[in-house]
Structure 1
Amino acid sequence: MLTSINTSQSIGEIVAVLPKASEIFRKYNIDFCCGGNRPLAAAIQEQQLDEAEVLQKLEEASFETRELTKRVNFREMKSDELIGYIVATHHAYLQKALPETGELTAKILRAHGSNHRELFRVHKLFNGLRTELEQHLIKEEELLFPLINKYEAGPSDKLAGEINRVMKETEGEHEGAGDILKELRKITADYSVPEDGCRTFEKAYSMLQELEGDLFQHIHLENNILFKRYEL
């Protein structure tokens, strides 16, 4: 039972305590990564959701929490372990998925763009996102994460200040990526494949949805767990 979770808590805090909540929030289009600092009550009110229904879904998800936390508890990971997980899981995924998804969006634009003009926007948005993310991964791996590991080995005010400067840049990039993903979902009508869509069309939209889910979890782990440890 969710005896410790209520709508006054921040969305990000809820997901940190209850990882399964991320799936529920995606279902209701509640932003748990870039908008993770907002109280759940604010999101429910803004989107005119049924508060009792949302809390019931969270309560149902709580039954799976024990097994999930046995498998991996991100909040209890040391920073270097969490960084290692993010790089090996989410960075590795993006390095593979970005070029594959880019190829698919180009194919469906060429094949279906004349009948589905929104694909021009999908192609442009995705490629902008891809460029931003490729640079973002390099910044994290070559600058931010080494700074955090250096701080853990020998804390100093200077390092803490530098970490916070880069973290703010990174969080801004997270917000930008989240905005693009929201626009992609909107212009594709929640990735609804049209009746004349081919298998490549279905695959492209499926990969975009998969990328969205992975990226939201990636951003959540950083914004709501890792970065919280170093905020001044």
Structure 2
Amino acid sequence: MTVFDAVVKENFPTLEIYTLPLTRAHGKNHPEVFRVPELFQTMNEKVKDSGSDKPDLNDEFTELREVTSQYALPDDACETYEAVCEMLSEAADAYYA
């Protein structure tokens, strides 16, 4: 099992739960967060469809870095927002390792 596989196994189930509420809690002040669940859903589907192969997630990680300003937290970020950014950043680090 690769480091990325381990991160997917550990973080993706939580990201499935956390990414949508992020839009409800922060979408009004941070409209960029609406892309986060969309991009994560695409990534999650690609991971599931890839089986044991490493999926091509370059476009999704690139756009996530752009819309989150390198996973930076806004001043009004809640614990969920912080956790989502941390898990996505960890997934990106593992993917490119």
- Partner of 1:131 in structure 2? 45
- Whether 2:81 is the aligned partner of 1:205: answer no
Residue 90 of structure 1 and its aligned partner are, at CA, apart by 3.2
- Partner of 1:196 in structure 2? 76
Structure number with bigger Rg: 1
Q: Output aligned runs, 1:95-174, within 5 Å.
A: 95-136=9-50, 138-140=51-53, 173-174=55-56
SS at match of 1:197: coil
Residue 213 of structure 1 and its aligned partner are, at CA, apart by 0.6
Can you list the C-alpha shifts for 1:43-98, whole angstroms capped at 9, x where unaligned? xxxxxxxxxxxxxxxxxxxxxxxxxxxxxxxxxxxxxxxxxx43xx4323312211
> Percent of counterpart pairs with the same letter?
30
Can you list the C-alpha shifts for 1:125-177, whole angstroms capped at 9, x where unaligned? 111111111111x153xxxxxxxxxxxxxxxxxxxxxxxxxxxxx6xx42xx0
In the alignment, the residues of structure 1 paired with residue 84 and residue 25 of structure 2 have an alpha-carbon distance, to the nearest angstrom, of: 12
In the alignment, the residues of structure 2 paired with residue 92 and residue 206 of structure 1 have an alpha-carbon distance, to the nearest angstrom, of: 15
SS at match of 1:97: helix
- Partner of 1:10 in structure 2? none
Residue 107 of structure 1 and its aligned partner are, at CA, apart by 2.0
Q: Output aligned runs, 1:1-232, within 5 Å.
A: 85-86=1-2, 89-136=3-50, 138-140=51-53, 173-174=55-56, 177-217=57-97
Number of matched residues?
97
Show structure 2 runs of 5+ residues with no match: none
SS at match of 1:104: helix
How well do the aligned residues superpose, as a CA RMSD in angstroms?
1.7
Give me the TM-score of the superposition, normalised by structure 2. Answer: 0.86
Show structure 1 runs of 5+ residues with no match: 1-84, 141-169, 218-232
SS at match of 2:11: helix
In the alignment, the residues of structure 1 paired with residue 62 and residue 29 of structure 2 have an alpha-carbon distance, to the nearest angstrom, of: 23
Looking at both structures, which has the greater relative contact order when contacts are Cα pairs under 8 Å and sequence separation is at least 6?
A: 2
SS at match of 1:124: helix
